[in-house]
Structure 1
Amino acid sequence: MASSDLPMTPQLEQIHGEIRDNFRALANGFQKLDKIKDSNRQSKQLEELTGKMRECKRLIKEFDRETKDEEARNTPEANKLLNDEKQSMIKELNSYVALRKTYMNSLGNKKVELFDMGAGVSEPTAEENVQMASSMTNQELISAGTKTMDETDQAIERSKKVVEQTMEVGTQTATTLKGQTEQMGRIVNELDTIQFSIKKASQLVKEIGRQVATDKCIMLFLFLIVCGVIAIIVVKIVNPSNKDIKDIPGLAPPAPSRRLLYLRTPEHLE
């Protein structure tokens, strides 16, 4: 059905046009793929076509959202036409997906899953899953289910490894923090010891300073006394008759010896 026959808003027309452009690119791409003989080039071409299919899927979902937003303003006939167009686009996209699967199998690549276009793509809706499942055989459904279970198991194993690695990193971090805490405690104790030693050294320096000052005072007094004694000796030598220093012990001249006069008795006189 042509887009002009559909009751679409300008936004829907733009999305619809982009989807149709991608479908034409997919058709041309698969036609070129038949002419490519090199397997590497075929794989590269399939990757490009997979990107186109991923873009188509996104645009179809956006088309569905816009349709639902306009559903209340459209007539039932218009809503039915838009829904039929969406189903037609989904069916066409599924045909390209099936074609891609055929080429992938011919290349010997077993890692193919219907509508699995890589990381970052949202999961198909329930309606799309039903449509895709209806186009698959029982063997394909069993294979797809088995592969999904295997991928789920692998995802669980990867999650377990991530959890184990996280726990290991957490244990190592806790051990490192504990060691750093103990080291900080030792540093604090050493700083306290150094501070105590500095205080004791300051007190000792003050005591030594006071003792040195006292010793200097004593030496000064002794020096003054010696100077005074020397000055007295010099003065005594220069002026021995000086009465001011006559009575100084050790410097005054010796006292004259005194003779005792004995009274003579008459007997001595005879």
Structure 2
Amino acid sequence: MATSLPMSPQLEQIHGEIRDIFRALANGFQKLDKIKDSNRQSKQLEELTGKMRDCKRLIKDFDRELKDEEGKNPPEVNKQLNDEKQSLIKELNSYVALRKTYMNTIGNKKLELFDNGAGASEPMGEENFQMASAMSNQELINAGMKTMDETDQAIERSKQVVHQTVEVGTQTASTLKAQTDQMGRIVNDLDSIQFSIKKASQLVKEIGRQVATDKCIMLFLFLIVCGVIAIIVVKIVHPNNKNIRDIPGLAPPVPSRRLLYAWAGPNLY
């Protein structure tokens, strides 16, 4: 539907898009009356619902642009534009109400098909299956209460499982912490043992060097003692051997005075 209202290019574009959606909605609802299959009707109604959402968004854009241009237009023009906005909103609300009517109709059709066709398509024993439409209000309430009790029991079981899981997790965390502390102590002990082994190795090396030095000294002293004993033995066996030098303290005393007298006597006379 064309309009002669003075609009800016932005408003005119938005207004045209809204009118296009209204025409699509009108055609869609006309097609909806001709569709007999409830599933196809539901699909068509979903498409129309999407178009209504787009129309609502465009009306918001129209209102926003209208407020931005309100200071530029005369009061009478602003009034006409606001009236047009209200008209767009009313028309959209009419389609929304029509959508609700069709949704109720389609829902009733599906329920009727379910009531009439469920037993024929999948027959089941009356002792095991009872349709909701054939149940009284008290039976529905009892069934609902039973379902709620079963749900509460399932929730309680879930809570117990969660509680047990939390306890197991707490115990596992405590065990892991204790094992972590134990591993830390083991690492510290290993460090101490490694340090002790290093100190012991150094001490063994020092003791080895000291023992080697002591052995060398003992060997040298042993050789000296052996040499002294050998000289003593040879001196005792061959006392007149001039090739063996006298050992201090073992040689016989020398008559020094007599020799001195024999040497100095002639010179005095």
TM-score by length of 2: 0.56
Change in CA separation of 1:244 and 1:85 when aligned onto 2, cut-off 3 Å: farther
SS in 1 for 2:107: coil
Matched, 1:85 2:81: no
Change in CA separation of 1:213 and 1:188 when aligned onto 2, cut-off 3 Å: same
Counterparts of 1:177 and 1:16, CA distance in 2: 66
Change in CA separation of 1:71 and 1:180 when aligned onto 2, cut-off 3 Å: farther
Which residue number in structure 1 is paired with residue 69 of structure 2?
Answer: 70
Q: CA deviation at 1:220?
A: 3.0
Change in CA separation of 1:109 and 1:212 when aligned onto 2, cut-off 3 Å: farther
Q: CA deviation at 1:43?
A: 1.3
Counterparts of 2:97 and 2:24, CA distance in 1: 16
Whichever of the two has the greater Rg, that structure is 2
Counterparts of 1:54 and 1:17, CA distance in 2: 16
Q: CA deviation at 1:29?
A: 1.7
Change in CA separation of 1:69 and 1:226 when aligned onto 2, cut-off 3 Å: same
Q: Deviations over 1:165-186 (max 9, x none)?
A: xxx9xx89x9588877666655
Within a 5 Å distance, the mapping from 1:1-270 to structure 2 comes to: 2-3=2-3, 5-108=4-107, 185-225=181-221, 243-244=244-245
Q: Deviations over 1:214-235 (max 9, x none)?
A: 1222233344455666778999
Counterparts of 2:103 and 2:25, CA distance in 1: 15
Q: CA deviation at 1:21?
A: 1.7
Counterparts of 1:246 and 1:109, CA distance in 2: 143
Q: Deviations over 1:50-84 (max 9, x none)?
A: 11111111111111111111112211111111111
Q: Which structure 1 residue ranges, 5 or more long, are not aligned?
A: 111-163, 250-270
Q: Give, as a single letter, the amino acid of the residue that structure 2 aligns with 1:87.
A: Q
Change in CA separation of 1:224 and 1:75 when aligned onto 2, cut-off 3 Å: same
- How many positions carry a matched residue from both structures? 188
SS in 2 for 1:26: helix
Q: Give, as a single letter, the amino acid of the residue that structure 2 aligns with 1:48.
A: E
Counterparts of 1:64 and 1:213, CA distance in 2: 103
Change in CA separation of 1:186 and 1:70 when aligned onto 2, cut-off 3 Å: farther
Counterparts of 1:20 and 1:189, CA distance in 2: 81
Counterparts of 2:38 and 2:56, CA distance in 1: 26
Counterparts of 1:178 and 1:65, CA distance in 2: 62
Q: CA deviation at 1:245?
A: 8.3
SS in 1 for 2:7: coil
Q: Which structure 2 residue ranges, 5 or more long, are not aligned?
A: 110-158, 251-269
CA root-mean-square deviation: 3.8
SS in 2 for 1:49: helix
Q: Give, as a single letter, the amino acid of the residue that structure 2 aligns with 1:105.
A: N
SS in 1 for 2:70: helix
% identity of equivalent residues = 53
Q: CA deviation at 1:44?
A: 1.5
Change in CA separation of 1:65 and 1:178 when aligned onto 2, cut-off 3 Å: farther
TM-score by length of 1: 0.56
Change in CA separation of 1:183 and 1:95 when aligned onto 2, cut-off 3 Å: farther
SS in 2 for 1:72: coil
SS in 2 for 1:108: helix
Change in CA separation of 1:195 and 1:60 when aligned onto 2, cut-off 3 Å: same
Counterparts of 1:214 and 1:230, CA distance in 2: 24
Stretch of structure 1 that moved more, 45-54 or 180-189:
180-189
Change in CA separation of 1:85 and 1:177 when aligned onto 2, cut-off 3 Å: farther
Taking CA–CA contacts closer than 8 Å with sequence separation of 6 or more, which of the two structures ends up with the larger relative contact order? 2
Q: Deviations over 1:146-201 (max 9, x none)?
A: xxxxxxxxxxxxxxxxxx9xxx9xx89x9588877666655544443333333333
